[in-house]
Structure 1
Amino acid sequence: MADVSVRSEASGQQEADGGAVSSNREALSKRQRKKLLKQQKWEEERELRKQRRKERKQQRRLQRLNHQEEDGGEALNVRKRPRREVTASSLRLVVDCSFDNLMLIKDVRKLHKQIQRCYAENRRASHPVQFYLTSLGGQLKQSMDEKDKGWVNWKDIIIKTEHYSEVVPKEELVYLTSDSPNVLEELDQKKAYVIGGLVDHNHHKGITFERAKELGISHAQLPLSSFVKMNSRKVLAVNHVFEIILAYLEKGSWQEAFFTVLPQRKGAVAVDQDGAMTQEKEEEGSDSDSDPDDPDTPDQTEKTA
């Protein structure tokens, strides 16, 4: 009798469990059916939604046309900028990226941003130069691959893994470095001017000048002291040097080029031809340019001019 009672209880428990499973399956099935019906309704109304979007777009177009007719056909799209007249320059600017092993990865990323700025400014310039990026590899290339995969599609730029001395004849090269005793008075369209791609916080002072001498190539510094006196160090970021040259090609004046590009925090003051100083820009506080990701920030500079 005991065995029969146990079997009876076990059978009853199985039936109860089976009923619970059946109930759960039925509830789950209802949710799935509801979800399926919702998906089917969404698919059925796809074309209707597409048609409604098309009608709204046509209505907006008709409204714009009506407004233009009311204004005598002279209405302009304010979002469109007038196209600038562009005259390409034969001058070459080379960013030398052969200092990769001398930088920490955080400084390499800053250099990457400066190069991005150079590329963008050259694309917008009225007299774009022939832009070269040489010795690309190592940490810099890794940063570009990770942070800006679209760089492989950049236009109007020549990117080389080789050293610049293997890309441009030595007699055509001029290394721009603030340690050079030579002052650059004018730009020679037949020359290729090299900018040192190094962000080192002055840990490797004079290295670009020494490299230029070792290779036996010409060197010079921008005529910054002849036109500008600054409250801060006479140290410019890669993109500053690049932009100053673009501005000079457009304006034909070193002084205008310097004051167009130099950050306000440097407290730039114009120097007259007689040697006197006239206030052109006042330092408005370092907070105005304090974005740590901005290539203009002080800790991203290197002696290149």
Structure 2
Amino acid sequence: MNQQPQKVKNNPPSAEEIERRRKAKQNEVLPEGMSRREWKKIQKQQKWEETKDQYREVMRAKKKLQRDRKRDRIKNDDEYKNSILKKPKTQIATDVKFIIDCEFDDLMNIKEITSMSRQIQTSYSIMRHSPYKLPIQITSFNKRLQERFETSLQEYKNWQGIEFTSTNLEELITEENKDQFVYLTADTDDDLMELTSDHTYIIGGIVDKNRHKRLCYDKAKKLGLKCGRLPIGKYIKLYSRDVLVTSHVYEICCKWFEFKDWGDAFNKVLPPRKVASNGDVSESKESESKVGESKEHEIKENKIAP
């Protein structure tokens, strides 16, 4: 099996480099009538135009590795092979719907828009192969995300069971139907123990590397919607913060209908690199305990000191 090359971390800039950048910023002349923010966006776009060929070459290599891994998995995992190669002739009704809320276009750069379009494409494939009927509606489908689909994924117009609409989430919600919506977000403390019929579950359609904290939670509260989070912490331990990409959230919900068990759903969907082993969890808890003991000892020392 081909192994993906490890990412090389960039070294932090030296003091000389920091000083050089500071002086360059001071001496930078902005075009007349243009803010620094607008100028930075133009520069970023120019840099993308200069490096996009190199980026695409890297992405082609990455996709080749993904295809190789998929080929190996199909060869060695019969259950995965059946789920990928065989679409169910009929799907079991659930009376559950999903919305991917894409009203965050302006908060993403062009690479993140591309990633978001791929996640929607992946979610559509998951929906088509699921034995349960879980339709998806893409709201606020406009701006750069729509442009991305129109130029690179034109076949989306023929997709079935998924609806693309420029309508905002707010326009779908009324006082009468408000209780039927649940916004899925890791920022709430309310664990979602089951998916209930006659409900619509909303997934935030954003790729932002956690730059915008509580974005979906705050939006849900503003709209007066209930919030829920997938109960990850009750079943598995992640290396990173309990925030999942859009397609993973949707797939986990699909798997829940198959297993009626969140633990099995998480273990089927999440890649091993995200999930800590039992040993890692124990070491992490032991480390946290030692840190806590150290801080407690330090506080006592400070109290005794004159």
TM surpasses 0.5:
yes
| Displacement after TM superposition at 1:278 (Å) | 7.8
Q: Distance in 2 between matches of 1:161 and 1:113?
A: 19
Q: Which residue of 1 aligns with 2:146?
A: 141
Q: 1:81 to 1:123 in 2, by over 3 A?
A: closer
Residue 121 of structure 2 is matched in structure 1 by: 116
Equivalent position of 2:213 in the other structure:
205
Give the counterpart letter for 2:105 in structure 1: D
Instruction: Kindly tell me the number of residue pairs found equivalent between the two proteins.
Output: 194
Question: Shift of residue 84 of structure 1?
Answer: 5.8
Distance 1:106 1:173, change over 3 A: same
Q: Contact 2:190–2:227 (CA<8 Å) still a contact in 1?
A: yes
Q: 1:81, 1:148 → 2: CA distance?
A: 23
Take 1:214 and 1:180, find their aligned partners in 2: how far apart are those partners? 14
Equivalent position SS for 2:221: helix
Cα drift, residue 131 of structure 1: 1.1
Q: Match of 2:236?
A: 228
Report whether the alignment pairs 1:103 with 2:108. Answer: yes
2:249 matched to 1:238? Answer: no
CA contact (8 A) 1:137 1:161 kept: yes
* Structure 2 counterpart of 1:265, one-letter code: R
Structure 1 stretches of 4+ moved >4 Å: 80-85, 277-280
Q: Are the counterparts in 1 of residues 88 and 130 from structure 2 also a CA contact under 8 Å?
A: no
Q: Partner letter of residue 138 of structure 1?
A: K
Equivalences for residues 30-69 of structure 1 within 5 A: none
Return the letter of the residue paired with 1:88. A
Partner in structure 1 of residue 159 of structure 2: 154
| Superposition RMSD in Å | 2.0
Q: Unaligned regions of 5+ residues in structure 1, if any?
A: 1-79, 270-276, 281-305
Partner of 2:191: 183
C-alpha distance in structure 1 between counterparts of 2:89 and 2:254, whole Å = 15
Q: Which has the larger radius of gyration?
A: 1
Greater helix proportion: 2
| Superposition TM-score, scaled by structure 1 size | 0.60
1:61-80 mapped onto 2 (5 Å cutoff): none
Q: Deviations over 1:100-145 (max 9, x none)?
A: 1111111001000000000011001001202111110001000011
Aligned position for 1:215: 223
| Structure 2 length-normalised TM | 0.60
Is the Cα–Cα contact under 8 Å of residues 89 and 130 in structure 1 kept in the other structure? no
- Look up the SS of the partner of 2:255 in the other structure: helix
CA distance in 1, matches of 2:155, 2:265: 30
Structure 2: which 5+ residue stretches go unaligned? 1-84, 282-306
